[in-house]
């Protein structure tokens, strides 16, 4: 007489189903990690402003570097950098982004680049701020917007601060040629908001600054005019064109992890 083991058959069937589901999830995750596109943008405008007496009306948009310098409230220089990502359709889900700068040696000072001397903020599109379409050759200390409050301080309702979040800020070294980079969910959210905005859609302005007051310290970052194309600022964006909800939801983490590792 044959002996039937129904419980064992059920267990085997459940194991098979579990394996099938696991393989399906692996496939979906793989699809989520593969079905993304990357675009790399360079600035359409960049400059810096300085409040050293006698320079408040000067424009520096044609220089090949962005000079960051801090001394006191009487001397504070910081940069504006704008990208145009309007080629991406409205509603395109950005799933990873990084903004990279390179230190150059031809600024007035050449002090070491460190995480404590590097900060990036996103300029919000609100009344009173420097407009998103500011002119590279006319922006100065005296005609900038209300986002700046005092030395190293910006109005929290006018900017998004990307500084200081663990794992989202990276500096490769202190010397010329070193890179400084930000990435992370706050940057992604900011870019998505600019891409879906009804006002100046796709125009994205970043403020680059030294976050602490140091007596007469400064350094330069390459601008879009720099002869070394590899040193110019870059904004890398990864997005999923026409994603399914499942693929987008499961693939975002893998893409972000893969992109972050690739850039190190």
Better pLDDT: 244 or 64: 64
**Residue given tokens 């675009």 in the structure block:** 39
Could you give the CA distance from residue 194 to residue 71 in angstroms, rounded to a whole number? 33
Q: Whole-prediction pTM value?
A: 0.81
At residue 187, the pLDDT reads 95
Query: Residue 111 class from Cβ within 10 Å (0-12 exposed, 13-18 middle, 19+ buried)?
Result: middle
102 contact partners, CB below 8 Å, separation of at least 6: 177, 178, 179, 180, 221, 222, 228, 230, 231, 232, 233
Alpha-carbon torsion, ordered 229, 76, 50, 126, to 10 deg: 90
Residue 20 pLDDT greater than 50, yes or no:
no
Percent of the chain with pLDDT strictly greater than 70: 76
Looking at the DSSP bridge assignments, the partners of residue 66 are: 221
Question: Over the stretch 78-117, which tens digit does the pLDDT of each residue have?
Answer: 999 999 999 998 889 999 999 999 999 999 999 999 999 9
204-235 residues labelled b (16+ CB within 10 A) or e (exposed): bbbbbbbbeeeeebbbbbbbbbbeeeebbbbb
Question: Over the stretch 202-252, which tens digit does the pLDDT of each residue have?
Answer: 999 999 998 887 778 999 999 999 999 999 999 999 998 875 544 455 455
């Amino acid at each position: 007489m044959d002996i039937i083991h129904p419980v064992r058959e059920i267990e085997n069937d459940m194991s098979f189903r579990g394996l099938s589901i696991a393989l399906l999830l692996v496939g979906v995750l793989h699809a989520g990690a593969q079905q993304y596109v990357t675009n790399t943008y360079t600035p359409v405008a960049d400059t810096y402003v300085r409040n050293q007496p006698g320079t408040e009306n000067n424009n520096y948009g044609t220089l090949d570097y962005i000079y960051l310098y801090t001394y006191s409230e009487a001397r504070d220089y910081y940069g504006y950098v704008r990208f145009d990502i309007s080629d991406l359709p409205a509603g395109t889900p950005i799933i990873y982004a990084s903004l990279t700068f390179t230190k150059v040696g031809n600024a007035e000072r050449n002090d070491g680049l460190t995480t404590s001397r590097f900060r990036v903020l996103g300029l919000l599109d609100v009344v009173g701020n420097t407009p998103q379409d500011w002119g590279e050759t006319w922006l100065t200390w005296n005609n900038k917007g209300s986002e700046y409050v005092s030395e190293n301080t910006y109005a929290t309702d006018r900017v998004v601060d990307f500084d200081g979040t663990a794992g989202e800020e990276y500096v490769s070294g202190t010397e010329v040629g070193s890179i400084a980079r930000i990435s992370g969910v706050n940057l992604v959210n900011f870019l998505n908001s600019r891409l879906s905005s009804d006002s100046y859609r796709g125009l994205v302005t970043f403020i680059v600054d030294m976050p602490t007051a140091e007596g007469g310290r400064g350094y330069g970052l390459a601008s879009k005019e720099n002869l070394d194309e590899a040193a110019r600022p870059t904004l890398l964006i990864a997005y999923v064109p026409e994603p399914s909800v499942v693929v987008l939801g499961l693939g975002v983490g893998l893409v972000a992890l893969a992109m972050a590792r690739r850039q190190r």
